Structure 1
Amino acid sequence: MAELLLIVTLAGRRIALPASEVEAVVELEGITPAPCTAPHVAGLSSLRSRVLTVIDGLAALDFGRAEAGGLANAIVVPSGGHTYALLVDGVEDVVEASASAMPVGAPVGPGWDRVATGMVEANGELLLCVDPHLLIAGPAAQAA
């Protein structure tokens, strides 16, 4: 069976994430700012009686910050023993990869180079495959 991919939009770009790394797709109603956190942490939110650390997907790429207010699209990702909500522009669908991921082969741009794991074909389109754990780590992880 081919790998399942979650197709989302982040920073205006359609990307693929391994569906096996994603626990849920949610709309967050409220995000409470958390002082003294990394710049890519948007705050905290609750989901089914759990507190989630909310990661701003744009800030994780070092592209600025997402606009606050209203409902926010997010994917829930367990990582390193904690559960995070990663803010994305939009969530499209879960699809089957047409083939195994290929190496990126060329720079894909600032921010993206750090989180890209390859290129993958799905539904006749070539998409950048991204590791959600690298997004959660944030831009400071590049220096480490």
Structure 2
Amino acid sequence: MHNLYLIIAIGGQRALLPAACVESVVEVTEITSVPCAPPHVRGLFALRSRVLTVIDPLPALGERRASDHGDQAVIVHVDGHLYAMLVDDVDDVVVIDGAPAAPRALLSPGWASHTEGALELDGEPLLLIDVATIIAGPLDLAA
């Protein structure tokens, strides 16, 4: 179903992930750091005998995490690989009909470059996260 989405929160902002790229939601207990990794790569995490790269979306969005990460991650697949994307909260799976529209508010450059638009749920606009660009990281790593 192309109109099925997972509601999450990143940096206090509620947003959507396409359910088609979501494998599961897990608790991350121990992250092993990776030397010289870009800022959005928090490290590695073992899940069911597989090693996954842990992605913190906030650096890609141009934001800083106020405290250490929570313990929830959404396991997403991009280009045949699995990643653990840290989130503040996971809310629900919902069906939203229609195509994403341009957001009604001015977004920061990070959010603008990592979203596919906005969808409305019960009168609330929710940004649709472009998972592949979040995994790729900040557009300008020198910033």
Verify same fold: TM over 0.5.
Answer: yes
| Cα root mean square deviation, aligned | 2.2
1:11-30 map, 5 Å: 11-30=11-30
Structure-1 residue corresponding to 2:61: 61
Gap runs ≥5 in structure 2 = none
Name the CA distance, whole Å, in 1 between partners of 2:42 and 2:73: 12
> Is the contact between residue 43 and residue 54 of structure 1 (CA under 8 Å) also seen in structure 2?
yes
Structure-2 residue corresponding to 1:91: 90
1:52-131 map, 5 Å: 52-65=52-65, 67-68=67-68, 72-104=71-103, 107-131=106-130
The SS at the match of 1:20 is: helix
**Deviation string for 1:12-65 (max 9, x for gaps)?**
100011111111111111101011211110000011111000011212212124
Name the CA distance, whole Å, in 1 between partners of 2:33 and 2:62: 19
Alignment length, in residue pairs? 142
Write the letter of the residue equivalent to 2:17: L
Give how far 1:11 is off. 1.1
The SS at the match of 1:135 is: helix
Name the CA distance, whole Å, in 2 between partners of 1:46 and 1:58: 22
> Is the contact between residue 56 and residue 66 of structure 1 (CA under 8 Å) also seen in structure 2?
no
Gap runs ≥5 in structure 1 = none
Q: Identity of aligned pairs, percent?
A: 47
Q: 1:18 to 1:85 in 2, by over 3 A?
A: same
Name the CA distance, whole Å, in 1 between partners of 2:59 and 2:134: 9
Give how far 1:82 is off. 2.0
Give how far 1:142 is off. 8.4
Name the CA distance, whole Å, in 2 between partners of 1:142 and 1:6: 28
**Deviation string for 1:81-127 (max 9, x for gaps)?**
32110101111010110433223366312310111101112234221
Structure-1 residue corresponding to 2:33: 33
